[in-house]
Amino acid sequence: MIPRGLAGMGTPSLEIGQILLGNANRYTIQKKIREGVWIATNPMGSKSIVKGVQGISGAQNEHNVLRKFQGSPFLRPVIDEIKQDAPMIVLRHMDDHLLNATIKKPLTNREIQFVARAVLRGLSTLHKDGYIHTDIKPDNILVNYADASEADPDLRFSDVQIGDLGASYSVDSDVACKGFLIGAPIWTSPEVLMEVPWGTASDIWAFGSMMIALLHGGDYNPFRPINASYHDRSYIFEVLRQQCRRFGAIPETYLERARPGKAMAVKTMTSTRKVEPLNFRAAPHFINRIMRMDAAERPTADQLLDEMSGLFQD
């Protein structure tokens, strides 16, 4: 089939069964996942993800970032490029993501350890080269399931990779240095929500939030607002309220650098609240070391890797 419907200046429009020619292989579109993203198969029947680059928010940035990190086993790689009219990238297909996995069945401690090591190694790769992922959360951590004949009852996964690098930025970008609000608020660090400059430590907070969620199991987040929905103007303030409730006050340095109206509102909202710490089924010291409200006090990915041996034991 001759490719058609590719809008050269915007989102490509593809049809089921359409064939695309890449530099290394050809791909048949099988299913649309969401706008600009499809599942495709090569002639051997192997699945891949085809993602439009032009006109898709973040996709070109993801392509540029992944070019720098080709070969990292802990970041989902680009495996091919398609340059027919509208450019597209071909990404490795993974079986699932962690949100689905933990909803189906809470992760064992061994699985949490396996996942944590892989994610920290991926973050270490990004951070050492001066990049921040900005959107670490369970549905952006991709997994392959172990073959049924070799499956360990305490370890379902054979591979773990960080996906969706479309919102990744360098530490010296305007987005980071000027404190742009970015990411999913319930997984995002206090400094990002306060719109003050942020860096690699914001990924460490998000990693810690994800560890808390995985230890709990299901579609859980400790900072999900109780009295506000996502589109409410108060949503971010309510996330900050929950962060302060669990891990202490917003640092004074953030209040000093934040917009005056936001700083006043946050200070008023959180000033008299008593901390109600969370309980964890494993590794409480490890989690509490990560979840520091002040980014300067959080450990690095490499430091956390050094501390992980034997932490998550059943």
pTM assigned to the model: 0.92
> Which residue spans of the chain are classified as CATH 3.30.200.20?
19-92
pLDDT recorded at residue 57: 56
pLDDT recorded at residue 303: 97
Residues lower than pLDDT 50 in the chain: 1-9
CA–CA dist 28, 10 (Å, integer): 21
pLDDT recorded at residue 198: 98
pLDDT recorded at residue 4: 35
> Which residue spans of the chain are classified as CATH 1.10.510.10?
96-307
**Fold designation for 96-307:** Transferase(Phosphotransferase); domain 1 (1.10.510)
pLDDT recorded at residue 55: 57
pLDDT recorded at residue 275: 85
pLDDT recorded at residue 36: 87
pLDDT recorded at residue 271: 66
Considering all CA atoms of the chain, what is the largest pairwise distance in Å, rounded to the nearest integer? Answer: 66
CATH architecture for residues 19-92: 2-Layer Sandwich (3.30)
CA–CA dist 65, 169 (Å, integer): 8
